[in-house]
Structure 1
Amino acid sequence: MRDTLRRPRRGLLALLGSAALAFAGAIALPGTAEAANILTNAGFESGGLSPWTCTGNLGSVVSSPVHGGSKALAGAVTSSDNAQCSQTVPVQPGTTYKLSGWVRGSYVYLGVDGGASTWTTSPSAYSQLSVSFTTGASQTSATIYVHGWYAQGTYYADDISLDGPGGGGGGGDTQAPTAPTGLTSTGKSSSSVSLKWNASTDNVGVTAYDVYSGSAQVLSVPGTSATVGGLSAGTNYTFTVKARDAAGNVSGASNSVSVTTDTGGGGGGGGFKQAAPYLYEGWGDPPSPSTVMSATGVKWFTMAFVLDSGGCNPAWDGSRPLTGGADQSAINQIRSAGGDVVPSFGGWQGSKLGANCSSASALAGALQKVIDAYGLKAIDMDIENTDEFENEAVQAKILTALKTVKAGNPGLRTIVTFGTSTTGPTYYGNRLIEQAQSLNANIDVFTIMPFDFGGGSDMYGNTVNAAEGLKAKLKSTFGWDDATAYSHIGISGMNGLSDQQENTTPAIWTQIRDWANSHHIARLAFWSVNRDRPCPGGGVVSNCSGISQNNWQFTSITAGFTG
């Protein structure tokens, strides 16, 4: 069925591409004007996007892979957005221009708005695209674009050139927008700062706002709010914002605002720290949360699982009501005892919102329903199996939705949880982290599940090795130091026997907890409180650990996690 659905789309792509090329070839072209690249930041060597703007805020500047220089454009295509990046420049009427650029990816397009375009598919190497067009008799500006194709993965573009004479003297727009006002911070974490400001005015219209940290542009957004991620803990940053119009005119800077990010270490800092074992009301003789809290001192629980009840509508297990049922009763009990919860979306099986919601915006809407229902401080996306973890487009959809709800809910913490190898993230985990960076998703915690990975008998050593591998990947992807990378790590183990008969004993879990504290990671969890009861020789079952232990012993150990 999947191949059947894909073939018509690819056939349509080929048809559109041929038509575009035929159109370009059919134009009777006068002599090309003197060649001079009139695009700004054509090779993205500034390290920022300006004056390019990208739909869905899906464009970013990357250091690899590049065609020339040290930077290139990455467009993180989703199933609902082709990540089009464009730049408008002044041109002369009745003049022929040559547009060219180097692109890499599956179905990448280069063209001019309302005119000629061309495309190629070269997923593993850069190839050059080139097309010519002639401006209209009274045309004074042209919008150049590059984009990928829906659900076809991230594309890259570099060294884009528009050769021809620049506009001027023709009455083009030369008036800059007014400077944004009222810049203020609306929230912060150890790795991010959320900002908002008042809209600028312009004689034609503002198309984007460029956010600066010091002198470096860090974001370009279409609206009047943004969250800057990838920051260092306990560090002071000064931000300003400039407005930009379609002709590339840039306003003066807004007022500046200085913000110090929360500290990333343990022991009373403002960084995010969470000891939150999983509690599941859908199976495994769910215990009374208040009884467990009283016996162990644990305060947080990860509530499993929010799924799709049909039509991108969230429900517990996809069948129990979002509010008014057993899950809300448990949450009320936890909060009455001074604790709180982080719902987990997804898991290994069931009908998942990430896979079934039609777009990132639809998924963000479903997440928002749960956030609003419980006034949440954090959410966890448990990304597993082929439908979410191994599907690149769904990974991007989930990350984009998390970015959206984080921007709309200042202070909300976002967690992604996924499987691992004994040495760190797998191919799919690495891709998830890379997409998070490319999308500027500003994820607070990357949580690995170090079990069911064929880990053998040394569950402490393999868990630590997996976490160190994750730390190394976060450092290389985000440019963080050791302390910052550790402060974005979570570990979610499996108490007692795993499905593959790996045995994490209370003594081993204590070692893991102590390692987590000494390295000041962000989160410690395990699957699950329902299983945190003894049944030596009982095997892998829903309501006990399969080993000898005390009631709630793993929860008690986890409650000692402070980061």
Structure 2
Amino acid sequence: MRTSALGRPRRRLVALLGTAALALAGAVALPGSAEAANILTNAGFESGGLSPWTCTGNLGSVVSSPVHSGSKALQGAASVSDNAKCSQTVAVQPNTTYTLSAWVRGNYVYVGVDGGASTWTPSASSYTQLKVSFTTGASQTSATIYTHGWYGQGTYWADDVSLDGPGGGGGGSDTQAPTAPTGLTSTGKTSSSVSLSWNASSDNVGVTGYDVYNGSTKATTVTGTSATVGGLSAGTSYTFTVRARDAAGNTSAASNAVTVTTSPGGGGGGGFKQAAPYLYEGWGDPPNPQTVMSATGVKWFTMAFVLDSGGCNPAWDGNRPLTGGVDQTAINQIRAAGGDIVPSFGGWQGSKLGANCSSASALAAATQRVIDAYGLKAVDFDIENTDEFENEAVQARILTALKTLKAANPGLKTIVTFGTSTTGPTYYGNRLIEQAKSIGADIDVFTIMPFDFGGGADMYGNTVNAAEGLKNKLKSTFGWDDATAYAHIGISGMNGLSDQQENTTPQIWTQIRDWANSHHIARLAFWSVNRDRPCPGGGVTSNCSGISQSTWQFTSITAGFTG
């Protein structure tokens, strides 16, 4: 991880249709109960066409807006002479109860079954669900379901039409359900929608569609192996599953669940992004930060390190004053140049607040003093060594304090930084992530320090592999999709020579930066700006990288990180 040589880091008018029940005269058997399975085809109109729906007067069409979910919906242009009735006929089983539902919008919109029950709404300015049940006759094998508007009442819309119950055909002889879909993952998201894809299911006769669930609610039905669920709230977590079904109405078990947090308001996918190399005022010939900012375009710095000066009192490096000293001077210079800072608490060595404050509340209070002193937008806890990283009680204390701080400081971003293996988090890294989940710490960024592996020269490959391992751990722990997991990842590298003589060159760091951008991670940092100067053959020292490079070259590369 670290040696003392470098000291550190690492989401209707009148009803005209009859409502008589379907004939049951002479039936002896009681109605069967329908297992929930949508037996309609193109129920969400996601195919982009009407088939197998037919609409009177050619007044039906598929539109992209407004939709209830997915990317398509039915539009019926009811006129003074035609109610724009759109219908679909399906095979059903005799003497069986079915439930018909649809999401509709407009004035006097109906859903129902020919010769049977119907329901309607006089006015729906936004999508409203209509639902009605009916029971088939003793020898009935087909039913025609419909939706329509009303004469002279204008256009209506319908989406996510569902007829739940067993399919007909073969007299119900097909009782074998499809296999469960596999590999459900998110392929994209906005502030109001999530796109999903999955691997196809198999069936002894054939799969006819897939029902996509948002929690326990059916969100949409599609015939292919992808869907977009719309109408979601910004910055909100949703959990999705998919079930396959066949023509007989047999439904599969649920797929794996995937949890996705929609993007923040405005439809962007940005979230929290930070390019913030470390700057240390207590070591390594500290450069003037405005000089570095002017030369490189970097805006953020991670300021190292806030430690314990005794009695759970924060101080820079444990001995420089919290305010009024060289650290505040540097922060003032950074902010005067349009930048900002995130302080790093902890590190490899020294007397640390996490280890020395007696409780999570005491640690939160000490950290709050730093937040108040500088009006901070983010804090980083660099959790290392046996006193913090390998101490389970201290891990829990730090995470609980961070949870407390987020509740007390709306908008505050919390970062934890820790070591890694070449394939992802170690035992203590995994435990840190699991504890964060267990206590609901809501950590914004989990940053790994992919160096000091104990050997190995492929710093790009090792860094990517470690980050992918972290991503997989976040997915399995939190139930996130790939995009959400990446958006919670940070990388904090080491420029030039590491403590163990690993060499991250400017070219390798550029590759790492480009990978970080293409995978939209949250944070990119390195240790340190103090060392971002050339000294080929200079070894592992505090004020240069030990390799041939341009002055501030790693900082310039890092400034190109946009997430």
Q: Which residue of 1 aligns with 2:300?
A: 300
What is the distance in 2 between the residues matched to 1:233 and 1:451? 39
What is the distance in 2 between the residues matched to 1:236 and 1:430? 25
What is the distance in 1 between the residues matched to 2:323 and 2:297? 26
What is the CA deviation profile of residues 497-535 of structure 1, one whole-angstrom value per residue up to 9, with x for unaligned ones?
A: 000000000000000000000000000000000000000
What is the CA deviation profile of residues 157-216 of structure 1, one whole-angstrom value per residue up to 9, with x for unaligned ones?
A: xxxxxxxxxxxxxxxxxxxxxxxxxxxxxxxxx9xxxxxxxxxxxxxxxxxxxxxx9999
Letter in 1 for 2:271: G
What is the distance in 1 between the residues matched to 2:506 and 2:477? 34
Q: Secondary structure at the match of 2:324?
A: coil
Unaligned segments of structure 2, at least 5 residues:
1-190, 192-213, 218-231, 239-259
Cα deviation for residue 455 of structure 1 reads 4.3
Residues 237 and 453 from structure 1, CA distance in 2 versus in 1: closer, same or farther, beyond 3 angstroms? closer
Q: Secondary structure at the match of 1:304?
A: strand
Q: Which residue of 2 aligns with 1:511?
A: 511
Q: Which residue of 2 aligns with 1:273?
A: 273
What is the CA deviation profile of residues 114-142 of structure 1, one whole-angstrom value per residue up to 9, with x for unaligned ones?
A: xxxxxxxxxxxxxxxxxxxxxxxxxxxxx
Q: Which residue of 2 aligns with 1:492?
A: 492
Q: Which residue of 2 aligns with 1:246?
A: none
What is the distance in 2 between the residues matched to 1:553 and 1:503? 15
What is the distance in 2 between the residues matched to 1:414 and 1:498? 26
Q: Which residue of 2 aligns with 1:40?
A: none
Q: Which residue of 1 aligns with 2:310?
A: 310
Q: Which residue of 2 aligns with 1:401?
A: 401
Contact 2:235–2:264 (CA under 8 A) maintained in structure 1:
no
Q: Which residue of 2 aligns with 1:502?
A: 502
Letter in 2 for 1:535: C
Q: Which residue of 1 aligns with 2:329?
A: 329
Contact 1:281–1:326 (CA under 8 A) maintained in structure 2:
yes
Contact 1:413–1:444 (CA under 8 A) maintained in structure 2:
yes
Contact 1:297–1:556 (CA under 8 A) maintained in structure 2:
yes
Contact 1:422–1:455 (CA under 8 A) maintained in structure 2:
no
Unaligned segments of structure 1, at least 5 residues:
1-189, 191-212, 217-231, 239-259
Q: Which residue of 2 aligns with 1:478?
A: 478
What is the distance in 2 between the residues matched to 1:301 and 1:484? 25
Q: Which residue of 2 aligns with 1:461?
A: 461
Q: Which residue of 2 aligns with 1:439?
A: 439
**Does 2:356 align with 1:356?**
yes
What is the distance in 1 between the residues matched to 2:233 and 2:516? 18
Q: Secondary structure at the match of 2:368?
A: helix
What is the distance in 1 between the residues matched to 2:307 and 2:448? 21
Cα deviation for residue 267 of structure 1 reads 11
Q: Which residue of 2 aligns with 1:43?
A: none
1:208-247 alignment runs, 5 A limit: 234-236=234-236
Cα deviation for residue 360 of structure 1 reads 0.3
Residues 520 and 237 from structure 1, CA distance in 2 versus in 1: closer, same or farther, beyond 3 angstroms? closer
What is the distance in 2 between the residues matched to 1:504 and 1:233? 42
Residues 488 and 236 from structure 1, CA distance in 2 versus in 1: closer, same or farther, beyond 3 angstroms? closer
The alignment covers a number of residue pairs equal to 317
Cα deviation for residue 452 of structure 1 reads 0.5
Q: Secondary structure at the match of 1:513?
A: helix
Aligned residues: percent identity?
A: 87
What is the distance in 2 between the residues matched to 1:237 and 1:424? 25
Cα deviation for residue 263 of structure 1 reads 2.3
What is the distance in 2 between the residues matched to 1:554 and 1:530? 11
1:54-65 alignment runs, 5 A limit: none
Contact 2:235–2:265 (CA under 8 A) maintained in structure 1:
no
Q: Which residue of 1 aligns with 2:149?
A: none
Letter in 2 for 1:391: N
Contact 2:354–2:388 (CA under 8 A) maintained in structure 1:
yes
Q: Secondary structure at the match of 1:447?
A: strand
Contact 1:457–1:503 (CA under 8 A) maintained in structure 2:
yes
Q: Which residue of 2 aligns with 1:290?
A: 290
Letter in 1 for 2:513: R
Contact 1:262–1:270 (CA under 8 A) maintained in structure 2:
no
Residues 234 and 508 from structure 1, CA distance in 2 versus in 1: closer, same or farther, beyond 3 angstroms? farther
Letter in 2 for 1:397: R
Letter in 2 for 1:329: T
Q: Which residue of 1 aligns with 2:418?
A: 418
Q: Which residue of 1 aligns with 2:343?
A: 343
Cα deviation for residue 457 of structure 1 reads 1.1
Contact 1:214–1:237 (CA under 8 A) maintained in structure 2:
no
Runs of 4+ in 1 over 3 A off after TM superposition: 213-216, 232-238, 264-270
Cα deviation for residue 454 of structure 1 reads 2.2
Q: Which residue of 1 aligns with 2:201?
A: none
What is the distance in 1 between the residues matched to 2:293 and 2:484? 31
Q: Which residue of 2 aligns with 1:15?
A: none
Contact 1:277–1:555 (CA under 8 A) maintained in structure 2:
yes
Letter in 2 for 1:393: A
What is the distance in 1 between the residues matched to 2:324 and 2:417? 27
What is the distance in 2 between the residues matched to 1:381 and 1:550? 30
Q: Secondary structure at the match of 1:558?
A: helix
What is the distance in 1 between the residues matched to 2:445 and 2:286? 27
What is the distance in 2 between the residues matched to 1:262 and 1:273? 16
What is the CA deviation profile of residues 4-27 of structure 1, one whole-angstrom value per residue up to 9, with x for unaligned ones?
A: xxxxxxxxxxxxxxxxxxxxxxxx
TM-score, reference length from structure 2: 0.54
Q: Secondary structure at the match of 1:557?
A: helix
Residues 276 and 264 from structure 1, CA distance in 2 versus in 1: closer, same or farther, beyond 3 angstroms? farther
Q: Which residue of 2 aligns with 1:158?
A: none
Cα deviation for residue 456 of structure 1 reads 1.2
Residues 430 and 264 from structure 1, CA distance in 2 versus in 1: closer, same or farther, beyond 3 angstroms? farther
Residues 352 and 373 from structure 1, CA distance in 2 versus in 1: closer, same or farther, beyond 3 angstroms? same
Contact 1:434–1:477 (CA under 8 A) maintained in structure 2:
yes
**Does 2:511 align with 1:528?**
no
Contact 1:233–1:484 (CA under 8 A) maintained in structure 2:
no
What is the distance in 2 between the residues matched to 1:377 and 1:544? 30
Residues 542 and 475 from structure 1, CA distance in 2 versus in 1: closer, same or farther, beyond 3 angstroms? same
What is the distance in 2 between the residues matched to 1:315 and 1:274? 24
What is the distance in 1 between the residues matched to 2:349 and 2:425? 21
Q: Secondary structure at the match of 1:397?
A: helix
Contact 2:509–2:557 (CA under 8 A) maintained in structure 1:
yes
What is the distance in 2 between the residues matched to 1:337 and 1:312? 32
Letter in 1 for 2:562: T
Contact 1:280–1:303 (CA under 8 A) maintained in structure 2:
yes
Q: Secondary structure at the match of 1:415?
A: strand
Contact 2:312–2:366 (CA under 8 A) maintained in structure 1:
yes
Residues 415 and 559 from structure 1, CA distance in 2 versus in 1: closer, same or farther, beyond 3 angstroms? same
What is the distance in 2 between the residues matched to 1:403 and 1:512? 31
What is the distance in 1 between the residues matched to 2:499 and 2:286? 20
**Cα RMSD over matched residues?**
2.5
